[in-house]
Amino acid sequence: MRSALRTAAATAPRTGTGVTGGGGWTPWLYLAPALVVLGGLLVYPIYQLGLISFLEYTQAQVSGGEPTTFRGLGNYAELFGDGQFWQVLLATVLFAAACVVSTLAVGCALAVLLTRVRAVPRLALLLAALGAWAMPAVTGSTVWVFLFDPDFGPVDKVLSSVGLSGFDGYAWTYDRYSAFLLVLLEVVWCSFPFVMVTLYAGIRAIPGEVLEAASLDGASAWRIWRGVMAPMLRPILVVVTIQSIIWDFKVFTQIYVMTNGGGIAGQNLVLNVYAYQKAFASSQYSLGSAIGVVMLLILLAVTLVYLRLLRRQGEDL
């Protein structure tokens, strides 16, 4: 395939629309408005975030009562010296990993299911999934809190009615692990439709002859997925995995709404909620900005890994 592409490129006629012909700036002219908007919405806020992280910036400086002083890396030294920060970072990584794995498992399973059911059940499942996807995070989180409410929620009543007496009036958000589990279920519920629809589109693009040949050879559904579908869907799986990591690592609304700001004594804090508490609840805007910079660097590293994987896959084609 590479030799064919090289031959095609070598034999292609040279026209005046190439870079040498002066047409290379045309794409940039079309992209200029979007680049200007992105620059205003992303570059300047990131610059301000980094700047504040190097300053002494509390409520006193905001109100003008004290002058702003430059602390250099002092805010980062204070942040990295705080044991709570490392606990929250570890909890964030583990929680995000659990959300990503669960979302991919549910999305992949339902994508395969969509290829095996008839048109009416398929349409019903797609509509239900898109409804969950379109639900605002605040609304979805509030609904899940009601469903698991110890006094009025139907989940505890159903579990108690089937003989699980320990769930009679059980408060899910009081315990650290059950609260994280509850938030995880809500995150998976609102995230799996993206994975499901994306993978379903990829599966539909796989030639039917390949799947039919594997089935005739006696391969089970699991063997077909592992040996045929997964390798062919690898580029799509990389994309949905990296995007799920980015989304789940910066979860804020679900944790804040469902655990009332991070749980009892901060037992359910993640980095986004931790930064919010530092910046707005404690008026330590510089520390909150430092946490934001750390999150930005972590997600930037994940994005670079994602781009490198895409480049390798493009070279292997």
Give the pLDDT of residue 103: 95
| Domains of the chain from N-terminus onward | 87-283 (1.10.3720.10)
Nearest one of 176, 174, 164, 168 to 151, comparing CA atoms: 168
Per-residue model confidence (pLDDT) at position 180? 95
Return d(Cα 101, Cα 96) in angstroms, integer: 9
Q: Given this model, what pLDDT does residue 252 score?
A: 94
Closest listed residue to residue 143, CA positions, set 153, 134, 133: 153
Tokens 């395939």 belong to residue: 1
Q: In this predicted structure, what is the pLDDT of residue 62?
A: 78
pTM: 0.82
Q: What pLDDT is recorded for position 23?
A: 59
Residue 315: per-residue pLDDT? 53
Q: What does the pLDDT read at residue 20?
A: 45
pLDDT for 21 equals 47
Using 50 as the pLDDT threshold, list the residues of the chain that sit under it: 1-22
> Taking the CA of residue 39 as centre, how many other CA atoms within 13 Å lie in the half-sphere pointing to its CB?
6
